[in-house]
Amino acid sequence: MTQNGKNTAVAIQVDRLQKSYPGVKAVDGVSFTVPRGEIFGLLGPNGAGKTSTLAILEGLRQADGGQVTVLGYDIQRQPREVKRRIGVQLQQTSLLPDLSAIEQLILFARLYGRSLNKTAAHHLLNEVGLAEKANALPDKLSGGQQQRLALALALVNDPEIVFLDEPTAGLDPQARRRLWELVRQLRDQGRTVVLTTHYMEEAEALCHRVGIMDHGRLLALDTPGGLINQLAGSSTITTTAPLPLDEVKKMVGVQQAEQEGALLRLQTSDPATINTALLALADTLGIPLRDLHVQQPSLEDLFLHLTGRTIRDA
Ligand SMILES: Nc1ncnc2c1ncn2[C@@H]1O[C@H](COP(=O)(O)OP(=O)(O)OP(=O)(O)O)[C@@H](O)[C@H]1O
Ligand SMILES: [Mg+2]
């Protein structure tokens, strides 16, 4: 699809992006493409370079190298064209302490050169579930409500792309799910969403595709399912049946097996065959096969595989 010579199917194109600060390569040769309508996630630990990457795409910071095209516009040469069409929720949202929710929206719209009347502002508040809080000051809002107000502020210019930097950081599970629903609504409205997160389950539940970042590099990029499939070959099976560990280790297809108290845990590339073999072994020994669980690998396992650390340790 092209329009005015622009590829309208692509929202964002990033090519070999570089950004250094004194003593640290925050972004070290990152490339990716985000098609329109996608919810794209950057997942990584503190200091991975997520915010630095976003800030460049948003036109808020200058890259040292590489190329970024947003909605067909070069971010270096045409930042104004980009900024008109995107909405940005920063990691640290600075809500103005003395303005009510609705006043903040109206002011923000004016900063974008748009006039938002009270009805339209109410409509936006309603969209993020804050209709009752129109006249509340920010310090009277819960963490989740503040995040939703920040999201509404990112929507005042009816953006084609919405950037959300850790939109659910610090929220309880219920507030987080509420925000996920709002992000899905944005997608249903045809917007492209780029978000960052530390939370594996968030990336898995929300994103079409996820880039795993660490030390300024993109280590992997795929759908959550595709990422997990990269680890196919390591399903985990556990059971509390007292099977002899030596026998289990000898089974063809068992990569690793260990006993931890009453729990026997093994890794395998072929869970179906191993399940059958475990059943046969238990049957021969006259032992009931109790608490048998097969666990597919998770994004957490992939992160560990790629970086040697869990995301919490990182
Ligand atoms: N303005 C800055 N000046 C100097 N160093 C910076 C600056 N901004 C970021 N950095 C450094 O660049 C690296 C990447 O930081 P960035 O904020 O992009 O990471 P992040 O993935 O967003 O982390 P977090 O999950 O904590 O938000 C870090 O080492 C950070 O200390
Ligand atoms: Mg950050």
Q: State the distance between the two ends of the chain, measured CA to CA, in whole angstroms.
A: 41
Q: Tens of pLDDT along 186-245?
A: 999 999 999 999 888 899 899 999 999 999 999 999 998 888 877 766 788 999 999 999
Nearest CA to ligand 1 atom 25: 46
Is residue 52 within 6 Å of ligand 1 at its C-beta? yes
Report the alpha-carbon distance of residue 284 to residue 281 in Å, rounded: 5
Beta-carbon contacts of residue 115 (< 8 Å; ≥ 6 apart)? 109
Q: Tens of pLDDT along 111-170?
A: 888 888 999 999 999 999 999 999 999 999 998 899 999 999 999 999 999 999 999 988
User: Smallest Cα–Cα separation from 34: which of 52, 14, 12?
Assistant: 12
CB 305 within 8 A of CB 231: yes
pTM: 0.84
Q: Which of 94-103, 241-250, 297-306 has the lowest mean pLDDT?
A: 297-306
Nearest CA to ligand 1 atom 28: 47
Ligand 1: centre distance to CA 27 (Å): 9
Q: Tens of pLDDT along 64-98?
A: 999 999 999 999 999 999 999 999 998 877 789 99
Ligand 2: centre distance to CA 46 (Å): 7
Stretch 33-46: mean pLDDT, rounded? 96
Residue 69 Cα distances to 14, 156, 160, 220, angstroms: 7, 23, 14, 21
Ligand nearest to the CA of 26: 1
Q: Which domains does the chain have, with CATH numbers?
A: 2-229 (3.40.50.300), 235-296 (3.30.70)
**What's the gap between Cα 197 and its chain centre?**
5
CB 128 within 8 A of CB 148: yes
Q: What is the mean pLDDT of the chain?
A: 91
Nearest CA to ligand 1 atom 29: 47
Q: CB count, 10 Å around CB of 259?
A: 14
